[in-house]
Amino acid sequence: MAQAKPQIREKVEYTCPKCKRDLERINRTTIDKIIGVIVPIRRYKCMGCFWEGVKIYHSEN
Ligand SMILES: [Zn+2]
């Protein structure tokens, strides 16, 4: 019996607007960090078509 590997990785919040694949979260650039002071953003990249962009995330406190 093959054991199913449970994927307990962080759930993907967004999919690529171009090819609908799951986006990978990547490190923010310096500019992103500056913007991040005002608006909380995260940078995402698509491993399928190399689309890259930022999304605003809402911290739920
Ligand atoms: Zn894509």
DSSP letter string over 3-51? Answer: PP----SPPP--B-TTT-PBEEEEPPPHHHHHHHHHS-EEEEEETTT--
28 in Cβ contact with 42 (< 8 Å): yes
Q: What confidence score (pLDDT) does residue 18 get? A: 96
Domain that holds residue 49: 23-56
Report if residue 11 sits inside a domain: no
CA–centroid distance, residue 34 to ligand 1 (Å): 26
Report if residue 50 sits inside a domain: yes
32 in Cβ contact with 44 (< 8 Å): no
CA–centroid distance, residue 11 to ligand 1 (Å): 17
- Residue 28 CB: number of other CB atoms within 10 A? 15
Q: Count of domains in the chain?
A: 1
Per-residue model confidence as pLDDT tens digits over 7-60: 555 565 789 999 999 999 999 999 999 999 999 999 999 999 999 999 998 766
CA–centroid distance, residue 18 to ligand 1 (Å): 5
Is the pTM higher than 0.85? Answer: no
CA–centroid distance, residue 10 to ligand 1 (Å): 19
